[in-house]
Structure 1
Amino acid sequence: MKPILTVPDTPYIIGYGIEIVATAEIKTLTEQTQRNFAMQYFTASERSIMSGVQQLAGRFCAKKAILKALGVELNQKIFWLDIEVQRLLTGEPSVVLHGQYRELANRLGIAKWLVSITHVADYAAASAIALNSI
């Protein structure tokens, strides 16, 4: 029997999530709730870098994709402000978790996130990959 080839120091995927939303849904939510939608779902840091409904929708998708990668059921109480999607100087999105989600990520061994966000006029989408440490 041949030995299984393993590559040392290679990260592996712990979780993966993907989400898509119609930007019209987010626009409706923001119009109905005024600023409450942004205040409920986004930290002050996140709100400071978002300028339009496409960016709100993209960040919202990213948070839902991160929850899926963590294995969190979307029908339970979600602490949206404990998930922060920041932007690096390169423009790349990065994930900062707080509270119970940071604890969960630590228990799962998540050390790095790969996040991609995209949006067009009618839709926004995001994917999140949770990796272990090398």
Structure 2
Amino acid sequence: MIHGIGTDICDIRRIETVYQRQGERFVRKVLSDAEFLVWQKRSARWPQRGLRYLATRFSAKEAFSKAIGLGIRMPMTWRRCEINNLPSGAPVIVLHGELKTWFEAQGLRAHVTVTDETDYAASFVVVERD
């Protein structure tokens, strides 16, 4: 049974503007420690690739927050929601702390997809109730 659906589109140029203004402080606010390491590696090779990674994670977390019906408010926080990739490359949501506890207590399961193209990153999340 579907609990919620969330979608988000993010202008990568907007993420770049915020990053230029706030630097790593913004990145650390949005990304988990594990995501931050991936961002650093991608940014070191090609800064635009790092921005695209940041934008897809931002977008996916926004979409997830909409699908669970909380927005970005407790227990949902940017860093408690992590977007990883399976060995196949498919994105997967990994939750931490109070958000994970809340999510599991609700009997929920999430599916996510992310994409980026030139100036935009987009995400779609479906949350099911077991």
Q: Given the two structures, how large is their TM-score scaled by the length of structure 2? A: 0.84
Tell me if 1:105 matches 2:94. Answer: no
Kindly state the Cα deviation for residue 48 of structure 1 after the two structures are TM-superposed: 2.3
State the one-letter code of the partner of 1:32. Answer: R
Tell me if 1:58 matches 2:47. Answer: no
Q: Percent identity?
A: 29
State the one-letter code of the partner of 2:122. Answer: A
Where do 1:18-33 residues align within 5 Å? Answer: 18-33=7-22
Q: Which has the larger radius of gyration?
A: 1
If each structure's helix is expressed as a fraction of its own residues, which one has the higher value? 2
Kindly state the Cα deviation for residue 16 of structure 1 after the two structures are TM-superposed: 1.1
Q: 1:117 aligns with which of 114, 119, 123?
A: 114
Higher mean alpha-carbon deviation, 63-72 vs 47-56, is at 47-56
Residue aligned with 1:28, SS:
helix
Residue aligned with 2:79, SS:
helix
Consecutive unaligned residues in structure 2, runs of 5 or more: 43-49
Structure 1 segments (4+ residues) deviating >4 Å: none
Consecutive unaligned residues in structure 1, runs of 5 or more: 1-11
User: Residues of 2 paired with 1:92 and 1:32: CA distance?
Assistant: 32
Where do 1:61-80 residues align within 5 Å? Answer: 61-74=59-72, 76=73, 79-80=77-78
Residue in structure 2 matched with residue 90 of structure 1 by the alignment: 88
State the one-letter code of the partner of 2:124. Answer: S
